Amino acid sequence: MNIKSVFVNSGKLLLCGVIYSVGMIIGGMVVNMLGLQQPPMPAGLDGQLAMRYLLLQSPLLALVLALLARHLSGGFWSRTLMLVLLTWVCNTLNNQIEAAFFAGMKTGFLFTIITFLFPAFFTSMAVSCLFPAIHPKVSFSGSAKAFFGRYSYTGWSWRLAFAALSFMPIYYFFGLLVIPFTRSFYEQNLFGLEIPTLDKLLTILFLRSVLFFIAVLPTLIAWQSSRWNLFWRLGLALFYLVGFQALMIANWMPWALRLPHMLEILADEFAYAGALTWLLGGQNVRGTVSSDKSEKINVQFIQKKNVGA
């Protein structure tokens, strides 16, 4: 990558940040027109500073989406919708579900998820337009046929089931590791935090795990690069969407609480990306499938060709 491309791509990311701001303005207008109740501001929140952080981070959102978008199959709209689904579900819907049940932020749920739908949509459109696919001739339908053709019905059954539920044990495991550093905040109910009962925790984790899977699956189907690229790019995107953005703007909470949770989310999102890559990922470049079955066919073809020669 030369200096010129760095400046060009940086300009594109800044433009995506401006478009994100436009989406926020439109989202705010829509929820006001609908008369939805705004969530109460947490005690100690500096609203202007939080909004400034949110807007300053928007080029980073565009960056993590662009790293994925370049390797997705499909046309402009299919890639846009994949990015919208990933962004909105992981960054807004899932985070609001967790905040509603674990941080006492049930009020204003619809206000928040509808507001942030618009910046997710506008930013995804901008990223799809400004960062075109490396393999533009590969259609999403072609990728889907190749993707689901890799394994038998039985093979897909257990893989999809494990993938849909894999977030639960990963989240629980890393959550246990961070408890010694954050327990006192929850026990004292500071900042509205609460420790849920086990049955409530498992219910919410099941819901969030399924939602994460639905959000990520189209990206896995459309992926047109190596497993390694899928692992680190998806892990980075999930870390930003699930934890980094929200914790950076949560200025009413001390860093003694935010930093352990940020490290926790960094670890669990990369572990989750690794699990999805292992279960469902595959090098699916230009519609070809790198599976055990296809490799055997290729070996047999080469052997026959050599014998004929």
Encode the chain (309 residues) as per-residue pLDDT tens digits: 678 888 999 999 999 999 999 999 999 999 999 999 888 777 777 777 778 888 889 999 999 999 999 999 999 999 999 999 999 999 999 988 888 777 666 778 899 999 999 999 999 999 999 999 998 888 999 999 999 999 999 999 999 999 999 999 999 999 899 988 888 888 887 777 777 788 888 999 999 999 999 999 999 999 999 999 999 999 999 999 999 998 888 888 899 999 999 999 999 999 999 999 999 986 544 444 433 443 343 434 334 444 443
pTM metric for this prediction: 0.86
Which pLDDT score, from 0 to 100, does residue 103 have?
66
Q: How many domains are there within the chain?
A: 1
- Distance between CA atoms of 308 and 226, rounded to whole angstroms? 33
Do 203 and 31 form a contact (C-beta atoms < 8 A)? no
Do 280 and 159 form a contact (C-beta atoms < 8 A)? yes
Residue position matching structure tokens 């739908």: 117
DSSP 24: H
Number of neighbours of residue 169 by Cβ within 10 angstroms: 14
Q: Which domain holds residue 169?
A: 3-308
- Distance between CA atoms of 51 and 174, rounded to whole angstroms? 29
Which pLDDT score, from 0 to 100, does residue 307 have?
41
Do 264 and 173 form a contact (C-beta atoms < 8 A)? no
Residues facing residue 72 across a β-bridge: 223
By residue count, the chain amounts to 309
- Distance between CA atoms of 158 and 165, rounded to whole angstroms? 11
Cα of 228 vs its chain's centroid, Å: 17
- Distance between CA atoms of 298 and 285, rounded to whole angstroms? 16
Which pLDDT score, from 0 to 100, does residue 282 have?
65
Which pLDDT score, from 0 to 100, does residue 215 have?
97
- Distance between CA atoms of 232 and 217, rounded to whole angstroms? 16
What are the start-end ranges of the H helices in the chain? 3-34, 47-69, 76-87, 94-102, 109-115, 117-130, 140-148, 153-165, 167-187, 198-222, 227-239, 245-249, 255-280, 292-308
Do 69 and 133 form a contact (C-beta atoms < 8 A)? yes
Which pLDDT score, from 0 to 100, does residue 293 have?
42
